[in-house]
Amino acid sequence: MSLRKFSFKVTSKENYARTGLIKTHRGKIHTPVFMPVGTQATVKATFIDDIIETGSEIILANTYHLMLRPGLDRIKKSKGLHKYMNCKLPILTDSGGFQVMSLSKLNKIDREKGAIFNSHIDGKKFILSPEESIKIQKGLNSDIVMVMDECPKNTQDKKKIKESLDLSMYWAKRSKIAFGTNKLKALFGIVQGGLFNDLRLESIEKLVDINFDGYALGGLAVGETQNEMFTVLDSVKDYMPENKPRYLMGVGTPSDILGAVRRGVDMFDCVLPTRSGRTGLAFTWKGRVNIRNAKYKYDNSPLDKDCKKFGLNKYSKNYLNHLFNTNEILGSMLLTLHNLNFYQELMQAIRYNIKKGTFERFHRKYFNKL
């Protein structure tokens, strides 16, 4: 039997909000979709089987971190990232550009060589070119590969954003050439342009000319306000290709996701549910719960009585409060799993309401609550 090539189809719409189906040779992905972040070949504090049981259909891993530790050779000798981490789900890998910007204390951008930087771990010098980023991602055997881009810091300096945009478009062309032809895998371009509408539209036009399998929106979630992010999404929603997945990188809160879906976005990733879970913040349909708060010391009700997976409602707020205030690892594990499950419940509800034509009502009910 031949392997299924990568494809995407919009299946229903309500205004700009839409559901869709991505097909990969590893399985189907129903959109809008949230991708748990497995930065270093693990979604922190959770088992991969539990990730799958939440309803997750794809996860994200990080090229920058994996190239530093454990290194590409070790993963290739394990026959790729899926076997290495025992994950049967499709995996998207980012290019490493954002981490070069955010983690390296000493980095230099060279138009031809790429990003020249020192590891945040041991100071070792690395050069990450568009071609090397694609080579690493193909070596990891990821299913969705991201082009190498420069992710600029949030700034009102239009000249700097324009220079960064031009560099990213040049690197996008080089990434496409390095990727070559592979019907089983997908290569996504990344739209840049900061908060400037004309630059965003210029980026889209240039990326569409190159022709990618999907289009991500980068350079957001870097310090701008939610309204600024939504303004960018409003400016591009009529210009993003209709028949390709749209991915908002590094976003975000439940309200971020609701607002972005309303503006036509299909794919999301963020460390928020796992990072919050490890620090005692839970997301529920009634709002956020800081389980460390003293008011939960004698609260024997479950965190979410409607949770039907994993038996998580067997644990009281009282008990979870105790686990976090005594630094017990189980607390982080339980809340991380709860949050990941909540995010998948949210995505399932979003898809259901778009299909029923009730997403606007759902958005109004929960946007300011979650």
Query: With 70 as the cut, is the pLDDT of residue 103 above it?
Result: no
- 45 and 164 part of one domain: yes
Q: Is residue 2, in this structure, part of any structural domain at all?
A: no
Domain encompassing residue 125 = 34-225
Q: Is residue 89, in this structure, part of any structural domain at all?
A: yes
- 39 and 177 part of one domain: yes
Query: Cα–Cα distance between 267 and 245 in angstroms, integer?
Result: 7
DSSP-based three-state secondary structure for 149: coil
Whether 37 and 275 have beta carbons less than 8 Å apart is answered as no
- 159 and 71 part of one domain: yes
Q: Is residue 125, in this structure, part of any structural domain at all?
A: yes
DSSP-based three-state secondary structure for 181: coil
Query: With 60 as the cut, is the pLDDT of residue 1 above it?
Result: no
The pLDDT of 113-133, averaged and rounded, is 89
User: For the purposes of burial, counting CB atoms within 10 Å of the CB of 230, is it exposed (0-12), middle (13-18) or buried (19 or more)?
Assistant: middle
The pLDDT of 97-103, averaged and rounded, is 72
Of 225, 245, 261, the one marking the end of a domain is: 225
Strand order in the sheet with 27-31: 7-14, 17-24, 27-31
- Cis before residue 252, ω within 30 degrees of 0? yes
Q: Is residue 23, in this structure, part of any structural domain at all?
A: no
Query: With 80 as the cut, is the pLDDT of residue 204 above it?
Result: yes
Query: Cα–Cα distance between 158 and 139 in angstroms, integer?
Result: 36
- 210 and 282 part of one domain: no
Q: Per the structure, how many domains does the chain have?
A: 2
Q: So what's the pLDDT on residue 105?
A: 66
The pLDDT of 12-29, averaged and rounded, is 98
Whether 130 and 111 have beta carbons less than 8 Å apart is answered as no
Q: Each residue of 5-33: b (16+ CB within 10 Å) or e? A: ebebebeebbeebbbbebebebeebbbbb
Q: Which residues are catalytic?
A: 94, 269
Whether 37 and 274 have beta carbons less than 8 Å apart is answered as yes
Q: Is residue 162, in this structure, part of any structural domain at all?
A: yes
pTM above 0.95, yes or no: yes
CB atoms within 10 A of CB 198: 11
- 125 and 221 part of one domain: yes
Q: Is residue 231, in this structure, part of any structural domain at all?
A: no
The pLDDT of 326-341, averaged and rounded, is 98
Residues in the chain: 370
Whether 278 and 332 have beta carbons less than 8 Å apart is answered as yes
Query: Cα–Cα distance between 321 and 288 in angstroms, integer?
Result: 14
* Residue of higher predicted confidence among 127 and 154: 127
Query: Cα–Cα distance between 82 and 336 in angstroms, integer?
Result: 22
Q: Is residue 84, in this structure, part of any structural domain at all?
A: yes
Q: What is the pLDDT of residues 42-55, one digit of tens each?
A: 999 999 999 999 99
